[in-house]
Structure 1
Amino acid sequence: MEPEDAVMQIYHKAYVYLTCGPELLVFIEPDHPNPDLQVPGGTLDPGESYLQGARREFVEETGLSLDIALESFADQDHIFENVPNCLDGLHRRRHFHGRILQKPAVEWEHYEMTPSTGGPPIRFRLFWLDLFADDAPAETRFFQGFGAQLETLRTRMERQSNGRH
């Protein structure tokens, strides 16, 4: 009898790509050496839908409440192995897009009080990036696959922008 293959843990995740005009809300963790860009979101609680999880995680990570429509625009499976401060396993991600007409601030800091990996609160520095600027960061500047959705998001934003005229 052969030993069974280890079953990979699956984590259900939801993320919010919030845009204001051509800009995307992103954050970095100033107290960690990893300078990669991230978008708000994280692990679903038991019994929580992807949309509910996206809204809750957004509030936890930004300090902002969202009273806007969020539309699912991409799904992604991403495997984490030995990534510091991340849960090893398959991260089954659903990405949501929301649009606001006015930024609440240009930049701010917020602490996530209940990280999914446990431990002390995590400090986030949130700010906006122009996705259409000549010097817009490449998808490789985003943490662990978050940049893979940027082209789909840009196309979606252009389509919505053109539809308003």
Structure 2
Amino acid sequence: MRVVGKAFAYITNGGRLLVFEHADFPEAGLQVPAGTILPGEPPDTAVVREAREETGLGAFSAVEFIGTSEFDARRMGKEEMHLRHFFHLPVVAPVPERWRHHERDGSDGAREPIAFDLYWLPMSIAAARLIADHGQLIAALRDVLPEP
């Protein structure tokens, strides 16, 4: 089975986690910014690129590696295994509570911009609602960040 590298961004603002829903496809579920690592691209570079593309944010105080996990994507209809690299990206600039951002560089070949509705949730709530194991390593953040 093909192995695909993925970079996941746990973007935090205090004790809250940034999550999003696809504005045009709410059935896709609640997610965190993430995407495919390009050939030759280091995972820590990929996560910042994906975070910027999917959120419009760009000011992070650090890029902290959390860990890796494997995800069998066959349950999502793909014949591949994902090697997921999770990172913590704390924001440093003031950010809105909610906003819509249009990703213009979709890795799935989409030609039209993809609209994401982004907002902050307490990590304990987000962890229980995220799809497809997106919240798998949130516990590592809860140990170091207070709930709001």
- TM-score of the alignment, normalized to the shorter chain, above 0.5: yes
**Alignment-derived partner of residue 8 in structure 2:** 15
Question: Contact between 2:64 and 2:88, CA under 8 Å: does it hold in 1?
Answer: yes
**Alignment-derived partner of residue 23 in structure 2:** 30
Aligned-pair identity (%):
34
User: Whose radius of gyration is greater, 1 or 2?
Assistant: 1
| Alpha-carbon distance change, 35 to 103 in structure 1, aligned in 2, over 3 angstroms | farther
What is the SS of the residue equivalent to 1:143? coil
Alignment of 1:89-108 (within 5 A): 89-101=80-92, 103-108=94-99
Letter in 1 for 2:45: Q
Structure with higher RCO (Cα < 8 A, 6+ apart): 2
Letter in 1 for 2:116: F
Unaligned 5+ segments in structure 2 are none
- CA–CA separation in structure 2 for the residues paired with 1:88 and 1:105: 38
Letter in 1 for 2:114: I
Question: Contact between 1:20 and 1:102, CA under 8 Å: does it hold in 2?
Answer: no
- CA–CA separation in structure 2 for the residues paired with 1:138 and 1:98: 17
Cα RMSD for the two superposed structures = 2.1
- CA–CA separation in structure 1 for the residues paired with 2:126 and 2:7: 22
Question: Contact between 1:28 and 1:35, CA under 8 Å: does it hold in 2?
Answer: yes
Alignment of 1:45-64 (within 5 A): 45-64=38-57
- CA–CA separation in structure 2 for the residues paired with 1:55 and 1:138: 21
| Alpha-carbon distance change, 114 to 142 in structure 1, aligned in 2, over 3 angstroms | same
The answer to whether structure 1 residue 156 and structure 2 residue 147 are counterparts is: no
Alignment of 1:132-151 (within 5 A): 136-139=125-128, 141-151=129-139
Unaligned 5+ segments in structure 1 are 1-7
> What TM-score, normalized by structure 1, do the two folds share?
0.79
> What TM-score, normalized by structure 2, do the two folds share?
0.87
